[in-house]
Amino acid sequence: MIYCTGDSHTSLFDGGMNAYDLKLSSYPAIGRKISGFATCHFGPVTAYGFTKHKCFGLLPKWVPPGSNLLVSAGEIDCRHYLLQEKFFNSNGIRSVARECVARYLIGLVSLKKQGFNVGALGPLHTPLAMPHMQPMGTIEQRFEMVLAFNGYLRGACHANGLLYATLGNKVLRKEKYYFAWDGVHLSARALPLIQGWEHLFDGFQKA
């Protein structure tokens, strides 16, 4: 069993996102529709504020100790917050992405120390906007931010005995967003992309 937790992109592991899911106001939203997966959606979690989220400290109450835990966060950061002037400033995309991953890593390592087998799901490039949160910067800047974020996240995971997983940075750029129902969240059409992922942690050894 893999417990998928974090932001709304965990919905893929519960059958894919739809408009009804966005109306959920009570978190965590627990789901178990797909064999081999259970989801625990925190709400709109950011990688930068992962450890500050009210649900973070309660996670051990929802997920059994020693479980395989796949965390999803970072898409909101890359689409919006990291390109805001107060974060971006004059530091450059790579510098901002590296700082965000460093903060995110604190939470991931903390979960590992609590006995979980921890993996991080690299965020997708989601160029479209949500009604309540317009994206910052250009499409090209947001794509560059995702590439930088995932690059640092992959390296950090490998260096700290964490699993890194990704669906690919360009999945939402193909076939006119065929896999997404709203240009941001993956729909049930994307389920073939995670075929076999129930074995993601097979043979994974924590360092």
pLDDT tens-place string over residues 80-96: 888 775 566 667 888 88
155-187 pLDDT, tens digit each: 999 999 999 998 875 555 544 455 666 667 777
Residue-range domains of the chain with CATH: 2-196 (3.40.50.1110)
Residue with tokens 């009210």: 54
Contacts of 39 (CB under 8 A, 6+ apart): 3, 4, 5, 10, 11, 13, 14, 29, 30, 31, 32
Q: Count CB-CB contacts under 10 A for residue 85.
A: 8
113-132 pLDDT, tens digit each: 999 999 999 988 765 555 55
Q: Is the pLDDT of residue 111 over 80?
A: yes
pLDDT (average), residues 64-74: 91
- The β-bridge partners of 41 are 6, 29
- With bands split at pLDDT 50, 70 and 90, how would you rate the model's confidence at 206? low
Least confident of 37-51, 56-70, 121-135: 121-135
* Tokens, residue 114: 């609590």
